[in-house]
């Protein structure tokens, strides 16, 4: 896996110094609140740029086609993606698919191969998705979510500017920090976890637990800590991918319009204690004892004495965030259960049957009054 260079504004200037023209992908809100220093810096260095902003929050293949069309009209030395996961994922898709032209997505998605060597610089404007640290991207084709993956999609460099987080609405701050925390937790127990991924996840959790209250209180000196935690969480899932919590959460966002991290937190709050009670169904090759040790380690990282207390502390954090809890109809439960991606489930260390998933969705509603 490649190495990402972490940049400050000073090192960014050196990094882009050889470039003549760059292609910037940036949503309108980030353009207004986060880009002035970066654009000033490029102008002062005589680097010209074009900005592409015509993409949706859940980027589609049509969005990427528009970006590729613009990108193909000129010679660019680098792509700079500024924003949350969406802008960074569009940047990754432009890099991956620009040599293949537009349209014919059926075939392009079948034979994902990145040949383009153009550097990709990511500047995250939230602290959550971790897209700046992963070699995969999410894109919607004909309304269906597709995950594209290639090691070349890992950004070459990441520029952190904590000031970008100050203008985020509180709900978005809560949801993104819970997404990053969810990445750390799921990565930690994933069947693909390694010593290294666990270390990324542990450090991410420790930073979030120490700083999240101040961060949500608007103490801006914690912003870059949160960006670092989200980046580490991204590095962790880049090794392990996410597990059942994310697999269960995706449909909640489309059915109820919840932010992704909100949906993940609702699912993890019921999933974690259920997993501790069901280690007999362990499917991690390292065995049940190893998995129970992992739950104990997670509890210790959360400052708790035993596994269940760790899960409960997490539940209290989610409760403290006061997120809306949906009421599901029986039909909703069926739709939600059918939506769960089996591939993500296969990363989970405990096998979930259909009835387990249904019961967990019902369990989400029991937390309504908290």
Under 8 Å between Cβ of 210 and 303: no
Which stretch, 33-41, 153-161, 173-181, 219-227, contacts Fe ion (CB under 5 A)?
173-181
**CB nearer to Fe ion: pick between 247 and 311:** 247
**How far is it, in rounded angstroms, from Cα 282 to Cα 352?**
10
Which stretch, 96-104, 137-145, 171-179, 339-347, contacts Fe ion (CB under 5 A)?
171-179
Least gap, CB of 14 to Fe ion (angstroms): 32
**CB nearer to Fe ion: pick between 136 and 295:** 136
Under 8 Å between Cβ of 129 and 234: yes
Residue nearest Fe ion, Cβ-based: 179
**CB nearer to Fe ion: pick between 98 and 360:** 360
Least gap, CB of 278 to Fe ion (angstroms): 23
Least gap, CB of 322 to Fe ion (angstroms): 20
**CB nearer to Fe ion: pick between 89 and 179:** 179
The helix (H) or strand (E) run that includes residue 79 is strand 78-83
Given the structure tokens 């193909």, which residue do they identify? 72
Least gap, CB of 316 to Fe ion (angstroms): 21
**CB nearer to Fe ion: pick between 23 and 250:** 250
Would you state the structure tokens that stand for residue 50, as one six-digit string? 């074009």
Which stretch, 65-73, 79-87, 178-186, 313-321, contacts Fe ion (CB under 5 A)?
178-186
Would you state the structure tokens that stand for residue 21, as one six-digit string? 């023209």
Number of residues that bind Fe ion (CB under 5 A): 1
Cα distances (Å, whole numbers) of residue 367 to 86, 150, 259, 327, 370: 30, 39, 18, 11, 6
**CB nearer to Fe ion: pick between 132 and 179:** 179
**How far is it, in rounded angstroms, from Cα 175 to Cα 321?**
9
Least gap, CB of 260 to Fe ion (angstroms): 6
**How far is it, in rounded angstroms, from Cα 128 to Cα 126?**
6
**How far is it, in rounded angstroms, from Cα 295 to Cα 272?**
9
Under 8 Å between Cβ of 81 and 26: yes
Secondary structure class of 359 (helix, strand, coil): helix
Least gap, CB of 238 to Fe ion (angstroms): 12
| Residue 303 DSSP label | T
What DSSP string runs through 199-248?
A: HHHHHHHHHHHHHHHHHHTT-GGGHHHHHHHHHHHHHHHHHH---HHHHH
Given the structure tokens 């110094």, which residue do they identify? 17
**CB nearer to Fe ion: pick between 63 and 179:** 179
Least gap, CB of 362 to Fe ion (angstroms): 23
Least gap, CB of 205 to Fe ion (angstroms): 15
Which stretch, 113-121, 172-180, 198-206, 315-323, contacts Fe ion (CB under 5 A)?
172-180
Subset of 179-208 contacting Fe ion (CB under 5 A): 179
**CB nearer to Fe ion: pick between 108 and 251:** 251
- The site for Fe ion (CB under 5 A) is made up of 179
């Amino acid at each position: 896996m490649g190495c990402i260079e972490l940049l400050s504004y000073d090192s960014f200037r050196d990094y882009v110094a050889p470039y003549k023209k760059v292609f910037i992908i940036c949503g309108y809100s980030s353009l207004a609140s986060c880009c002035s220093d970066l654009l000033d810096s490029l102008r002062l260095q005589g680097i010209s740029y074009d900005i592409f902003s015509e993409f949706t929050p859940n980027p589609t293949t049509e969005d990427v086609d528009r970006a590729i069309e613009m990108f193909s009209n000129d010679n660019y030395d680098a792509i700079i993606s500024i924003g949350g996961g969406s802008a960074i994922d569009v940047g990754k898709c432009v890099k991956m698919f620009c040599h293949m032209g537009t349209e014919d997505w059926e075939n392009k998605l079948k034979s994902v191969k990145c040949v383009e060597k153009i550097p990709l610089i990511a500047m995250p404007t939230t602290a959550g998705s971790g897209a700046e640290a992963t070699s995969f991207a999410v894109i919607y084709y004909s309304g269906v979510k597709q995950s594209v993956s290639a090691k070349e999609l890992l950004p070459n460099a990441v520029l952190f500017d904590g000031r970008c987080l100050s203008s985020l609405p509180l709900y978005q701050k809560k949801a993104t920090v819970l997404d990053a925390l969810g990445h750390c937790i799921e990565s930690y127990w994933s069947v693909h976890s390694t010593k290294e991924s666990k270390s990324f996840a542990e450090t991410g959790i420790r930073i979030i637990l120490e700083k999240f209250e101040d961060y949500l209180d608007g103490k801006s000196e914690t912003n870059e800590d949160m960006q670092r935690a989200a980046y580490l969480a991204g590095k962790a899932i880049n090794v392990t991918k996410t597990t059942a919590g994310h697999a269960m959460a995706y449909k909640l966002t489309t059915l109820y319009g919840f932010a992704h991290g909100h949906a993940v937190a609702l699912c993890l709050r019921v999933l974690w204690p259920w997993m501790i009670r069901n280690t007999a169904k362990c499917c991690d090759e390292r065995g049940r004892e190893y998995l129970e040790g992992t739950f104990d380690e997670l509890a210790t990282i959360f400052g708790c004495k035993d596994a269940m207390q760790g899960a409960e502390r997490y539940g209290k954090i989610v409760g403290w965030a006061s997120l809306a809890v949906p009421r599901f109809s029986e039909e909703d439960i069926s739709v939600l259960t059918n939506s769960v991606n089996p591939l993500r489930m296969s990363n989970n260390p405990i096998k979930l049957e259909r009835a387990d998933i249904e019961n967990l969705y019902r369990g989400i509603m029991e937390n309504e009054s908290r």
